[in-house]
Amino acid sequence: MIGQAEGILMERLGVGPDEAFTYLRRVSSHTNRKLADIAADIAEHRGQLSAPPSAPPSWTPGVPSAPPSAGPSLTD
């Protein structure tokens, strides 16, 4: 399931596999939920998932954006 979610994120966010996994880890950490549960949600709702057209790769659904120097980025 995690691999499937990574593939979905790679397509939707235009990132590579490492960035997609880091994204999953970041959402898991910010929402205090298991990474597998996040991946299952992404796979289940893949038809409804899309990043805003101007969203940077560090965009996280449901997590307020922080200034670039104020928090971890997708590559951290």
pLDDT for 44-60, tens place per residue? 887 666 554 445 555 55
Q: 25-40: per-residue pLDDT in tens?
A: 999 999 999 999 999 9
Q: Is the pTM of this model over 0.85?
A: no
Instruction: Provide CB contacts within 8 A for 74, sequence distance 6+.
Output: 15, 19, 22, 23, 26, 57, 58
Q: How far apart are CA 48 and CA 33, in angstroms?
A: 20
Given a contact cutoff of 8 angstroms between Cβ atoms, the answer to whether 1 and 34 are in contact is: no
Token digits for 74?
């997708």
pLDDT above 90 (res 64): no
Domain that holds residue 59: 1-76
The total domain count for the chain is 1
